[in-house]
Amino acid sequence: MIRKATEEDIPRLMELLHQVNMVHYELRPDLFKPNTTKYDEAQLRELLADESTPVFVYEQMSVLGYAFVRIEHVQDDRLLQDRRTLYIDDLCVDIAARGQHVGSQLFDFVRRWAEQQGCQSITLNVWEGNESAFKFYQKAGMKIRKTCMELKLDKTSKEQTKPKAVLPKTKGEARVHKMVLVIGKQKLPRRQIMADLGLKQKSRQAFIDHYWRPAWEQGLIDLVHPNVPNKPEQTYRLTAKGLELYSLLTGKDWL
């Protein structure tokens, strides 16, 4: 389901915004700072309250992606023709949900919404080097409108000494990272974790094999009641190592 985002979605939006920032940081560490987000929570509240800057989210048990958009209207300009354009400020799909057509469904929804608003076109920006995003938008029918060129003059670019970014290298790592983000500083029962991950309760074995066991083997997660593993009220929490990873993934110090 695709719907307008609400204030209740802000924590999840912050997690996804962090993923986007780390992609940009990996591409251009000389421009982007690591472990931060484009907007803070207060700015997100302002965006969500403004009808001219709607945020749409794709939800399937949990929010798996978003699209930040705004309408740009040129009228009575000395040079430019009158035109109503929808600008996609940001479109993101959770790393663990790639390949499920979440992005294409969000884009199609935004395109239909733009048509309903009387827009003549849709525009957005893609950073050089982000080949997956470039190919995605090309496949969606978009074409290059203009090119922003650059000449680097700083010989001591941060690219030479950039620290290692915390980005998942495999789908398995992406799943573990997602569970770490879901648990955070909380103590949660298995059913709640599975629901927040977008897993059906009948997928318990898949949860154990693909999420819980890899995280446990890496020392990221622990039982609140380790001496009674089958306790009905059993809950899970992050270890100190897990909290360190959560801090790196979100840019927040939880230790």
Enumerate the H helices of the chain as residue ranges.
Answer: 10-27, 41-49, 102-116, 131-139, 171-183, 190-197, 204-207, 213-217, 240-250
Query: Above 70 in pLDDT, residue 157?
Result: no
pLDDT at 164: 53
Given pLDDT bands bounded at 50, 70 and 90, which one contains residue 35? confident
Best-predicted range by mean pLDDT (145-159, 164-178, 201-215):
201-215
Measured CA to CA, the distance from residue 80 to residue 185 in angstroms comes to: 52
Q: Are 68 and 53 in contact (CB under 8 A)?
A: yes
DSSP letter, residue 82 = P
pLDDT at 155: 66
Best-predicted range by mean pLDDT (44-48, 198-202, 228-232, 247-251):
44-48
On the CB side of 189, how many CA atoms lie within 13 Å of its CA?
8
On the CB side of 147, how many CA atoms lie within 13 Å of its CA?
3
Q: What are the residue ranges spanned by the domains of the chain? A: 2-159, 171-250
Q: What are phi and psi of 64, to 5 degrees?
A: -105, -10
Q: What is the mean pLDDT of residues 170-181?
A: 89
pLDDT at 255: 40
Query: Above 80 in pLDDT, residue 165?
Result: no
Q: Tell me the two tokens of residue 136.
A: 């995605």
List all residues 6 or more positions away from 111 whose beta carbon is below 8 Å from its beta carbon. Answer: 122
Helix axis angle, 10-27 relative to 240-250, nearest 10°? 70
Q: What is the mean pLDDT of residues 54-61?
A: 96
pLDDT, averaged across the chain: 89
137 vs 160, residue with greater confidence? 137
Given pLDDT bands bounded at 50, 70 and 90, which one contains residue 116? very high
The whole model's pTM is what?
0.69
**Tens digits of residue pLDDT in 74-92:** 999 999 999 999 999 999 9
Q: What are phi and psi of 92, to 5 degrees?
A: -135, 145
Q: Are 35 and 18 in contact (CB under 8 A)?
A: yes
DSSP letter, residue 212 = I
CATH architecture observed for domain 171-250: Orthogonal Bundle (1.10)
Q: Tell me the two tokens of residue 133.
A: 């995003």
Query: Above 90 in pLDDT, residue 39?
Result: yes
pLDDT at 172: 87
Measured CA to CA, the distance from residue 139 to residue 133 in angstroms comes to: 10
Query: Above 70 in pLDDT, residue 53?
Result: yes
Q: Are 32 and 21 in contact (CB under 8 A)?
A: yes
Given pLDDT bands bounded at 50, 70 and 90, which one contains residue 167? low
Query: Above 50 in pLDDT, residue 218?
Result: yes
Q: What is the mean pLDDT of residues 94-114?
A: 94
Place of tokens 């909290």: 243
Helix (H, G, I), strand (E, B) or coil at 91: strand
Q: Are 215 and 221 in contact (CB under 8 A)?
A: yes
Measured CA to CA, the distance from residue 67 to residue 54 in angstroms comes to: 8
Options 3.40.630.30, 1.10.8.60, 3.40.50.300, 3.40.630.10; CATH of 2-159 = 3.40.630.30
pLDDT at 9: 97
**Tens digits of residue pLDDT in 226-238:** 887 778 888 999 9
Given pLDDT bands bounded at 50, 70 and 90, which one contains residue 166? low
